[in-house]
A and B are shown apart, each in its own frame.
Chain A
Amino acid sequence: MKKAIILISLTILGVYLIDIFTGIGFGTQHFASGVKDAYLIGSKETLKVSNVVTSIVVNFRGFDTLGEVTVLFLASMALGGILYKKRHDVGERSVLFPSTRIVMSGAKLLFPSIVLLGAYVFIHGHLSPGGGFQGGTIIATGFLLMLITYRNYSVSHNRLSYVESFAGILFIGLGLAGYFINNSFLANIFPAGKLNDLFSGGVIGIIYVAVGFKVAAELTGIIYTVLHEKD
């Protein structure tokens, strides 16, 4: 009965959604004048950032990203609160299978390159696909690999916290610098440089690096907290 109601409702919802989206059309220009062109031109001409998505994420809609970083920060904080235990409860984490030697050596071998790849991705975020979030996530996967391979691999919570905080402060600090120098939060304070140059886009690249560090630290922290949860 309940399932029938749900199925019927979802069917109706699906019909409406398909109706809407076929009406919108796929792969065509939907609107006459949007902000899209302004972003493309602004990114190319003013910011000199070749990856438009990055320029949107970090500069045009940088405020969203600030919020987004905060969401991650909040998530890791809420997670810590939800799974909070008094200190002495924190014991060894449960691992179902001990890793084999192959996995152990492989992980050791892979870890630096994963971190390096992540760093590469967020450093070149304004030039090619990628960026702080992607790079940070890659780094976090490196830590995940280490954490699930080694039973007693541990990451210092304090150190994660330092990275997290300093990255966040750097982000907001750069934004505030723009606020005080150019009278608008997150405004560019460095020379924009040349399109497709590593040192282009002024403050954007730096912010994305900060975001990368922050995301990496936060994701690692989240993984670490959850992994340490015993039942």
Chain B
Amino acid sequence: MVGTPVLFIVIPLLAAFIIPLTGMVWKNSVRIIPGLVLSYMLALSVSLMWHITETGTVVEVIAGWKPPIGINLVFSPFSGFLATLMIFLGLLVWAYSYKFKRNVDSEPALKYFILLMLLVTGSVGIVLTGDIFNMFVFIEIVGISGYGLTSFYTRRDSAEAAFKYLFMGSIASTFLLLAIMIIYSQLGTLNIAEIADKMPMMSNKLKVISLIFFILAIGIEAEIFPLNGWAPDVYTQAPGPIGAAFAGIVVKSAIYASVRLVYTMFDLSGALDLFIVIGLITFIVAETTALRQERLKRMLAYSSIGQMGLVMVAFGIGTKEGIFAALFLIFNHAIIKSLLFFSGSYLVYNKKNKFIKHVNGMGKYLPITSILFTIGAFAIIGLPPFAGFWSKLAILTAAADSKMLMLIAIILTVSILEAVYYLRVINRIYFFPKKKSTEAKKPTLNALIVMISLGIIIMVIGFYPDLITGIIDRAATDLMDKTGYIKDILTINN
């Protein structure tokens, strides 16, 4: 074992405080140290994942106070899976943007990498923490680093996007605090496990209202309709890899939070149906909106929102198969959408507006990037033998097993739209003549390596999904086991 869960939070924060100092001495350290920290976190999470298969969930307390009193971090198969995924993606984003802004003096770059590192840390914190107020703090960390990253490019309309995000984020944090306080006033605790344990003591009315406030607050981060107006703007205006980070890391942590609420904390039966309804509406609206987009990143953003809706639907099915499908979808979406964002931002590089028409004829000038984009698009449509197919099959099987035929029909119908707009882009890449004015920018070596490795992962998972299904299966079992979670935390003897 390399360490305990607390190091996931502490080491990046320590690094964040140290980097400004080292940056004064050695400029390149601001790029390198975040990468080292993220690699360390990845090693840590992988070794912990290995460790928990033998010993079961790892619960760590902070400051030596046992859970209801102190804050605790939980590294269970479920949260560990998500944390590992996020850190892995964070590392990829770091590697992809390693050469970012090389020619500019180091100050913006310094901020970029620290903000990125803290974005990952905050998301991992949301996933690992066992305390609801602590979760709020981490959500804010993610939020502020998100605002900073979004407005990173000063020339674009990025401030506008960041302001919208901040506006919604403020409303979210207000309602989150309200919900937390309602729960605290009734149960006198902030620990998720103890809240779950004591939840029957709360009156139904307060339960419902605090859940609604939670859904509003977390739904804003999870980009559910109609709370997702900020998301496409942020995806469009943030630097390319940050779009991937949002789709792969931030949203996932919000989804985690909402799932933890509904599955563990609250014992309301209607919540899952609400999940299905909200998720389905999000899915439909986002995919139909994506159909006529003119900008590539915006299209990807709506597609990403739609996929998240689908994840919500899968969680809403409520069976173990449903959770399995949702987690599989989360995994696939994380790698595939990252690949699409990575390769997509090279296809429309150097363009201010990033219109879809700028990709015309890029297949000839950026062959590898184009092929990778195509693989990503095919995978996200769910064509076999790419990774996306298996998650789609899993979600449909789960729905069919729960006798939700209408759901299947709707999902499949909307999927056709998804196929249409992705294919339009691919056709443009390969079959439309390139405009003279468009300049192709060759990807840098580090970006190329990242994209190719993602492409390989997609293919490998597509041909051999068993690589990942075992872990997901354990994670799904873990999430279903509410009493186990409560017992693990409240009876810790440390």
Contact = CB atoms under 8 A, between A and B. Distances in A.
A153 interface: no
A107 to B, nearest CB: 29
B134 A81 contact: no
A169 B15 CA distance: 9
A16 B186 contact: no
Contacts of B115: 74, 77-78, 81
Interface string A100-139: 0000000000000000000000000000000000000000
A96 interface: no
Interface string B173-201: 00000100010111111110000000000
A158 interface: yes
Given A20-B182, A78-B147, A176-B10, A42 B17 contact: no
A60 B133 contact: no
A39 B63 CA distance: 13
B10 A67 contact: no
A24 B63 contact: no
Interface stretch (B18-26, B34-42, B275-283, B296-304): B18-26
Given A73-B16, A169-B17, A182 B144 contact: no
Interface residues of A, number: 57
Contacts of A70: 13, 16, 118, 141
B367 to A, nearest CB: 35
A6 interface: no
Interface stretch (B151-159, B356-364, B440-448): B151-159
Contacts of B107: 80, 84
Contacts of A178: 63-64
Interface string B73-116: 00000000000000000000000000000000101100110110
Given A35-B190, A68-B137, A71-B141, A59 B63 contact: yes
A190 interface: no
A64 interface: yes
B402 to A, nearest CB: 33
Contacts of B209: 16, 20
Q: Which of B17, B18, B105, B141 has the most CB of A within 10 A?
A: B17
B405 interface: no
A87 B184 CA distance: 49
Interface in B299-322: none
Interface in A27-78: 30-36, 38-39, 42, 59-64, 66-68, 70-71, 73-75, 77-78
B13 A168 contact: yes
Given A35-B68, A78-B144, A84 B14 contact: no
A74 B13 contact: no
A42 B137 contact: no
A185 B134 contact: no
Contact of B20 (A38, A60, A165, A172): A165
Q: Which of A23, A61, A74, A169 has the most CB of B within 10 A?
A: A74
A150 interface: no
A63 B62 contact: yes
Nearest to A36: B188
B213 to A, nearest CB: 10
Contacts of B21: 161-162, 165
Interface residues of B, number: 61
Contact of B186 (A24, A33, A172, A185): A24
Nearest to B203: A23
Contact of B62 (A20, A62, A74): A62
A60 B18 contact: no
Contacts of A165: 17-18, 20-21
Contacts of B188: 30-36
Contacts of A68: 137
Given A61-B71, A74-B115, A186-B62, A169 B18 contact: yes
Interface of A is mostly: helix
Given A60-B69, A165-B20, A80 B111 contact: yes
Contacts of A75: 144
Contact of A42 (B65, B162, B178): B65
A185 B72 CA distance: 10
Contacts of B108: 81, 84
Contacts of A35: 68-69, 188-191
B111 A77 contact: yes
B137 A67 contact: yes
B9 interface: yes
Q: Which of B71, B145, B182, B184 has the most CB of A within 10 A?
A: B71
A205 interface: no
A215 to B, nearest CB: 14
A71 B140 contact: yes
B138 interface: yes
A214 to B, nearest CB: 9
Interface in B1-53: 6, 9-10, 13-14, 16-18, 20-21, 24
Nearest to B189: A35
Interface string A10-29: 00000011001001100000
Q: Which of B61, B111, B114 has the most CB of A within 10 A?
A: B111
13 contacts: A16-B209, A30-B185, A35-B189, A59-B63, A61-B134, A67-B140, A70-B13, A81-B148, A82-B162, A165-B21, A178-B63, A179-B6, A179-B10
Interface of A: 16-17, 20, 23-24, 30-36, 38-39, 42, 59-64, 66-68, 70-71, 73-75, 77-78, 80-82, 84, 86-87, 158, 161-162, 164-165, 168-169, 172-173, 175-176, 178-179, 182-188
